Amino acid sequence: MKTVSIVVPCFNESEVIDTTVAELLSVTRSIENYQFEIIFVNDGSSDNTETKLLSYSQQYDNIRIISFSRNFGHQQAVSAGLDVSSGDAVVLIDADLQDPPKLIADMIVKWEDGFDVVYGTRSTRQGESKFKLASAKCFYRTLNYLSEVPIPLDTGDFRLMDRQVVDHLVAMPEKSRFIRGMVSWIGFNQTSIHYERSARFAGESKYPLVKMLKFGIDGILSFSVKPLKLSIMMGFACSGIALLMLLYSVYVRLMTEHWESGWTSILVSIFFMGGVQLISIGILGEYIARIYNESKDRPLYIIKKNRVLDAAKVDETIE
Ligand code: UDP
Ligand code: MG
């Protein structure tokens, strides 16, 4: 029987945790022919989330809990859960029931169809402030524009991943982890399921503005070196403007009688020097981008095992 692991990061979720556990247990019981292991990662909660989780893990064999020594953050919590997971597929889901656990059944169906990653894309989001909606929309589009791999729009970490994807993810050594981007980078057959994202069941968002900004910046900087290269573009623009100004002032000086002495040389040289400096910073950026990419130490490529074909091959040899 195949095992599916469910990883749930929890930070101060004592208000929702009982319902979440009940909901996850009922969903996993309703899906036949699979074994489930539910891994709760307590990310340094200061309320009684940990006590509650511990008692659940004693009560139910398939509930496991990992506890951090302090609050390390959502992405770190998810990473820890992936590290210890043993399932043939792993589902990532938030503790606040914003992602409907019922969808896990549909994800498993798609997984069995041969998809290695099935991610949930939010078609609507309820109970979020206008600001959060607008900033999320803006963020996902900017990220996609800057990133070297396309990262699906309006998609969080709610997803199912096949073991081979999880193994590659766990093996990626980088420290600033932006999981949804890393999964896109890994590749394989990916597909999405659309769903309505409901409001938080209880409690407050654990992503205040500052944390959200940090997360956004992490995402952009981990998946793009374009910001580093921006100064080259600005430098060329500045130098171009300087050149146009030079031509214009030569024209004014020779062809007309209204010219101001001194003005031109100062302005042209300011623009020209500005351009030269920006280009130099851009060149530095190019080198730093390379150092940065090297230091991320990602593998050069990933080879795919065809699960369906490989299973057939194994069967043949057994016969
Ligand atoms: N979370 C976490 N560590 C943190 C912040 C959040 O483990 O430092 C968990 C949180 O318990 C929840 C999930 O990450 O299960 C998503 O957080 P939240 O619902 O607060 O984010 P939002 O949905 O508002 O973006
Ligand atoms: Mg939430």
Residues lower than pLDDT 50 in the chain: 319
Residue 307: the pLDDT is 67
Would you say 64 and 39 are in contact if contact means Cβ atoms under 8 Å apart?
yes
Give the start-to-end residue ranges of the domains of the chain: 2-129+150-206+299-318, 226-296
Nearest ligand, CA 204: 1
Ligand 1 pocket by Cβ (under 6 Å): 9-11, 13, 43, 71, 73-74, 77, 94-96, 98, 205-207
Environment class of 33 (CB within 10 Å of its CB; exposed 0-12, middle 13-18, buried 19+) = exposed
Residue 304: the pLDDT is 64
What is the distance, to the nearest Å, from the Cα of residue 222 to the centroid of all Cα atoms in its chain? 9
Q: Atom 2 in ligand 1: which residue has the minimum CA distance?
A: 74
Query: Residues 96-151: pLDDT tens digits?
Result: 888 899 999 999 999 999 899 999 988 877 777 788 788 888 888 888 888 888 88
Structure tokens at 281: 């910073």
Residue 319: the pLDDT is 47
CATH 3.40.50.10710 fits 2-129+150-206+299-318, yes or no: no
What is the distance, to the nearest Å, from the Cα of residue 272 to the centroid of all Cα atoms in its chain? 40
Rounded to two decimals, the pTM is 0.79
Q: How far apart are CA 1 and CA 24, in angstroms?
A: 19
| Atom of ligand 1 lying closest to residue 212 CA | 25
User: Cα of 194 to ligand 2 centre, how many Å?
Assistant: 17
Q: Atom 14 in ligand 1: which residue has the minimum CA distance?
A: 74
User: Cα of 81 to ligand 1 centre, how many Å?
Assistant: 14
User: Cα of 201 to ligand 2 centre, how many Å?
Assistant: 9
Query: Residues 137-181: pLDDT tens digits?
Result: 888 888 888 888 888 888 889 999 999 999 999 999 888 888 988
